[in-house]
Chains A and B, each alone.
Chain A
Amino acid sequence: METQLEMFETNLESVRTAVTRTSPAAFQETLADVVDRPTVGAPLPFEEVTLEGLDIVLEPTPDQLREAACGVTAAALGVADYGSVVLESTPAGAELAGLFPDRHVIVVRERDLVPDMASAFERLGERFRAGSDDAVIATGPSATADMGELVYGVHGPRETHAVIVEA
């Protein structure tokens, strides 16, 4: 029987998202390996891990945003049966860091996984009613078929990479 985490990983891969599992202790080392430089990001709203102390610009200027090869942001939820992640905006610009650079590294905690869209919408409904403004359910990189063939990386990232923090 596949666990929820394994199902999430399988589905992430099927939507062209690379996966790395890590622990809170090994997080910064793992992240340093998967980002491209220059990197921008938004502070993670988690207790166990942080982007502080890494070579990541957390309050980028427009130019830094434009020049960044990679963006690192947190996911509020992971949806196992779709390989989707829920990205929330923050006043620090998490939406922008996950949208402009070519590569998007998504930090998602194992404890924030839900099995399916129905559970995701229950959680999101609570958050929205409590005043949350916005969330994007993102599944894989940006894509278009408007130019006659499927192409990844349109207005949004070409590559997506999920770093799953266990425990």
Chain B
Amino acid sequence: MASERSRKADRIRHVMETEGDSVERNARGFNEGRYESVARLEDYDAYKDRARAIKEDAIERLPELIEQVREAVEENGGTVYVADDAADANRYVRELARERAAETVVKSKSMTTEEIDLNEHLEAEGCDVWETDLGEFVLQVADEAPSHLVAPAIHQSREEIATLFNEYFEPEAELETAEELTAFAREYLGERIEDADIGVTGANFVTADTGTMALVTSEGNARKTVAVPDTHVAVAGVEKIVPTFEDLQPFVELIARSGTGQDITSYVSLFSPPVSTPPVDFDDDEPIADDPADRDFHLVLLDNGRMDMRDDDQLRETLYCIRCSACANSCANFQSVGGHVFGGETYSGGIATGWEAGVHGQESADEFNDLCTGCSRCVNQCPVKIDIPWINTVVRDRRNRGAEDGELDFLVEGLTPDEEPAGLDLQKRFFGNFSTLAKLGSATAPVSNWVADTLPSRALMERVIGVDRRRDLPRFERETFVEWFRNRDEPRPVDADYHAVVYPDLYTNYIRTDRGKATVRTLEALGVAVEVPEVASSGRAPLSQGMIATAGDHARDVVADLGPYLEAGYDVVAIEPSDLAMFRGEYERLLETDRYEALSERSYEVFEYVYGLLENGADPASLRDADDGRGVGSALAYHSHCQQRTLELEAYTTDVLERLGYDVLTSDVECCGMAGSFGYKSEYYELSVDVGDRLREQFEAPDAADRTVVASGTSCLEQLDGLLARRPRHPISLVAPEESE
């Protein structure tokens, strides 16, 4: 296991060094463009809802829609073939090529043909196959696989492409600028298109009522690929079907904005082939105007596992994906490594796990599935609202169940009261059972802290469970937050308007007890009657490792522990955003509806709750303001937590801080790069630091360098502590009244 981890770390380091800069520049550019472009779109949320509803309906009625497409296309004069799998699709297209004695085939970009390796099969038939999309062309020359759904050669810089072309084509004058490279490719591929016997395209959408395929492109190569040769083959997954022509509209508004941040691409081609354009025979001198009836069109609808995905309650949502790449572009890890690390045989980015598991089998998701840390930043970015982290968790869980028996189990035996299968990877068991570890660590502190920090311990932990020795370990407090509250001798306010349980999450209870105490003082100062009972851990830790059954147990324990308080009218205040995200998000999947709703409707993030209290008339004068900050200063640099941002809670913290006189500058990078256990794992440590570097740069820039750094999440605080010379603080520690003696 240790050598496997080290191989993985080497591979990640290598790709970060060779491709990282290019991927980062491009993916972040797309992502920033997306934020700007969707902000310009009126009714963005309504479009997302509509797009989602269309996809839900289409996938539900898929068998019926496939037949409707067949009728519509046949009525237009084309042919539809539904291919069971890759081999079936390839055989069909090969036979067509053979019948037409095709020598040259030109293609416009299509991930679906990548999925089935169509080029290799056509080449085996003796065809010269050329990719006419410039990004795909670069990859064809370089003999590489796409690293991005939309911009396949995103990992290559202009300089690298120039070197590649100059070596491969040996042009008369060396190519250097993007213009020169583009002009060369245009001319070279133009000749291939003129010679082509067959044009192959994908399809972004296919409409059932009119048999129209929509191709979303910018270069014009798809149009030439369709127009010039007399035979057109389109290969599309069955999930690309939408019921009606008008259903295309919301997707046309969303797809480019979500992907590259353009309002719309240069071309949205709507073809109900055979098209009206006369085919062009460049060997002929006659005027082109001709009888388009000579045209031949074949639509190959590919199943290849998709109908099974449709039957799978957990993977079905993957089929709603419109392959826009928003999940990849918004993913902090993807921004560092791109699709050659965060991707499988064909697909890349967050949604790749679902696609790979569905079309290539679950094991094809193994290599990269762990790179989804469940930070949830992609969830709101997806134009069809797919819960991508959940799909990743499900596949992780399914893979865990198939994992090999681990050795050295004795190290975590006794720490592992989980119900997960015994073969589960040791590292995953360790992180998944963090609640048990925290209890032990706290009970034996400070000895446990001291032992854990010794060199031999760190070496052993690194070798056996892959906890990177460069990462500082959390230091357990001897007195837990719950114990502190129980031992405290403070009278509860009488006749309080609000009653709240402060949720003692693992970190607050065992490690960062200060922020729990500050929360209690803050709420009490605002007149809330507070309780801090013993409550089970949320299950976030096992869920992150793909241990869904164990997480479900935790969820049931949490609602059992909190049940009496909820019934008595208490609110639940969570300090750790990732735990609140469990209550509001994943618990819906882990609990019965009424239990989920009872908890989620009454749970608040701490600053969301404080904001509500102030809005309802509580007096902020009882809180510490910017003038009374014990040397903190009034200027803050604030990093919200990824799940807190997904839940749209960031504004509550900044609002409360500003009311108290602070000047707040906020980070805008996607993530701190830590995401809990992720940054501790030796195979991901360097990636985590690379991602964190973007936040470090932002907080070391002149406008932030002198500000006090505050962050809401435990993992963010730990990461920032490692990255910056300044010690970051939880914002509640700034506003809480002083401890009374």
- Residues in A lying within 8 Å of B, measured CB to CB: 59-63, 65-66, 82, 84, 88-96, 99, 117-118, 121-122, 124-125, 128-129, 132-151, 153-157
- Residues in B lying within 8 Å of A, measured CB to CB: 26, 76, 132-135, 137-138, 151, 153, 156-159, 161, 177-179, 181-182, 185-186, 189-190, 193-194, 209-210, 212, 218-221, 223-224, 227, 244-246, 248-249, 252-253, 260, 263-278, 280-292
The answer on a CB contact under 8 Å between B292 and A155 is: no
Q: Identify the interface centre among B181, B218, B248, B289: most chain A CB within 10 Å of its CB.
A: B218
Chain B's nearest CB lies how many Å from the CB of A103?
Answer: 13
Chain A's nearest CB lies how many Å from the CB of B136?
Answer: 8
The answer on a CB contact under 8 Å between B288 and A133 is: no
Query: Which residues of the other chain, B, contact A91 by a CB distance below 8 angstroms?
Result: 276-278, 289-292
The answer on a CB contact under 8 Å between A143 and B266 is: yes
9 nearest A-B residue pairs (beta carbon): A156-B220, A148-B158, A155-B220, A146-B134, A149-B178, A146-B135, A142-B220, A59-B287, A154-B219
Query: Which residues of the other chain, A, contact B270 by a CB distance below 8 angstroms?
Result: 124, 128, 134-137
Chain A's nearest CB lies how many Å from the CB of B242?
Answer: 12
The answer on a CB contact under 8 Å between A151 and B179 is: yes
Contact sample, A vs B, 17 pairs, CB 8 Å cutoff: A59-B287, A61-B288, A84-B264, A88-B276, A89-B227, A96-B280, A117-B249, A125-B245, A133-B271, A138-B267, A145-B151, A146-B135, A146-B153, A148-B156, A150-B178, A154-B221, A155-B219
The answer on a CB contact under 8 Å between B278 and A93 is: yes
Chain B's nearest CB lies how many Å from the CB of A41?
Answer: 12
Q: Identify the interface centre among A132, A142, A147, A150: most chain B CB within 10 Å of its CB.
A: A147
Chain B's nearest CB lies how many Å from the CB of A47?
Answer: 21
The answer on a CB contact under 8 Å between B182 and A139 is: no
CA distance A61 to B289 in the complex (A): 8
Query: Which of A118, A129, A154 is B182 in contact with, Cβ under 8 Å?
Result: A154
CA distance A145 to B153 in the complex (A): 10
CA distance A127 to B37 in the complex (A): 30
The answer on a CB contact under 8 Å between A154 and B249 is: no
The answer on a CB contact under 8 Å between B220 and A133 is: no
The answer on a CB contact under 8 Å between B138 and A62 is: no
Query: Which residues of the other chain, A, contact B194 by a CB distance below 8 angstroms?
Result: 62
Chain B's nearest CB lies how many Å from the CB of A87?
Answer: 9
Query: Which of B209, B264, B269 is A134 in contact with, Cβ under 8 Å?
Result: B269
Q: Which residue of A lies closest to B207 (CB)?
A: A128
CA distance A96 to B548 in the complex (A): 56
Other than the known A89-B277, A128-B245, A136-B268, what 4 A-B pairs have Cβ atoms closer than 8 Å? A129-B245, A133-B274, A134-B273, A144-B135
CA distance A136 to B275 in the complex (A): 12
Q: Which residue of B lies closest to A132 (CB)?
A: B272
The answer on a CB contact under 8 Å between B178 and A148 is: yes
The answer on a CB contact under 8 Å between A136 and B269 is: yes
Query: Which residues of the other chain, A, contact B212 by a CB distance below 8 angstroms?
Result: 128
CA distance A91 to B185 in the complex (A): 29
The answer on a CB contact under 8 Å between A82 and B264 is: yes
Query: Which residues of the other chain, B, contact A95 by a CB distance below 8 angstroms?
Result: 223, 227, 275-277
Query: Which of A93, A117, A134 is B272 in contact with, Cβ under 8 Å?
Result: A134
Report if A122-B246 is in contact (Cβ < 8 Å); known contacts: A60-B288, A147-B158, A155-B221: yes
Chain A's nearest CB lies how many Å from the CB of B293?
Answer: 9
Chain A's nearest CB lies how many Å from the CB of B677?
Answer: 37
Chain A's nearest CB lies how many Å from the CB of B511?
Answer: 46
CA distance A154 to B177 in the complex (A): 14
Q: Identify the interface centre among A93, A129, A141: most chain B CB within 10 Å of its CB.
A: A93
Chain A's nearest CB lies how many Å from the CB of B55?
Answer: 17
Chain B's nearest CB lies how many Å from the CB of A116?
Answer: 9
Query: Which residues of the other chain, B, contact A66 by a CB distance below 8 angstroms?
Result: 282
Chain B's nearest CB lies how many Å from the CB of A7?
Answer: 14
Query: Which residues of the other chain, B, contact A149 by a CB distance below 8 angstroms?
Result: 158, 177-178
Query: Which residues of the other chain, B, contact A140 by a CB distance below 8 angstroms?
Result: 266
The answer on a CB contact under 8 Å between B224 and A99 is: yes
Query: Which residues of the other chain, A, contact B153 by a CB distance below 8 angstroms?
Result: 146
CA distance A153 to B282 in the complex (A): 21
The answer on a CB contact under 8 Å between B219 and A143 is: yes
